[in-house]
Amino acid sequence: MRILFLGDVMGRAGRQAVTDRLPGLRTDWRLDAVVVNGENASSGRGLNAAQAANLFEAGADVVTLGDHAFDQKDMARAIEDDPRILRPVNYAKSAPGRGARIYEIGGRKLLVAQVLGRVFMSRQYDDPFAPVDTILKGQTLGRTVDAILIDMHCEATSEKMAMGHFCDGRASVVVGTHTHVPTADACILPGGTAYQTDAGMCGDYDSVIGMQKAEPLRRFVVGMPKDRFEPATGEATLCGLFVETDDTTGLASHVAQVRVGGRLGQSAP
């Protein structure tokens, strides 16, 4: 399978980049599946139902969320109505929606799961490793499913790396989200799992992690808030990870960072 994962969609600039560029990338790169993290699409805090529909219309097959999953009130209903939207699997069991599903896309089965880390996060969540282990033990990569993608949404690079090695040989892809900066460590781990610590954001990089610079700078310099954080609105860079899997084993055979448009150096499969 040829899979594209796109990192956190940040505000209107990020949504516009996905809308403008993803349809062409699906064709040009002959993509079988596209997974998009929509965690910050709504002014940097969550995702609403209309914006989710726009991401699907642009070519996303699955949209993952994160710690801001239910910041937009209508998402609690939308995630129940649309199985293509996933919240973290280690949220409380009473939370709406699900954190992992198997999707049949073009006759192939892709398991997608999202999980939240705990290190340096604003509130404690359940252990991320136990539910991922249960999910992976329930499937046989290359037999019951063609590919498995894990979106590890967390702050600490060490925790993301630990999850990558924990899943090595059992998942096709483990990719980090949340910190909005693409890391330069895309690779295939020894057991055959594609890995990147953070895919980066789909947003304007003339910013402070996607926000207009003035207010974050003020808070760092003087230690006092004055205005709300507002998403930057310049041309966004589409950031993510491209992975091609082996048809027999379901493990990764090729991995490449993706950076398209905007200010960052460009990179494509």
CA contacts within 13 A on the Cβ side of 110: 25
Decide if 29 contacts 244 (C-beta within 8 A). Answer: no
CA distance 38 to 15: 9
Residue 81: its H or E element: helix 75-81
Residue type, 59: G
User: What order of strands is seen across the sheet that includes strand 173-177?
Assistant: 100-105, 108-116, 147-153, 173-177, 194-196, 187-188
- Could you list the active site residues? 68
CA distance 35 to 149: 9
CA dihedral 40, 8, 231, 235 (to 10 degrees): -140
CA distance 237 to 200: 9
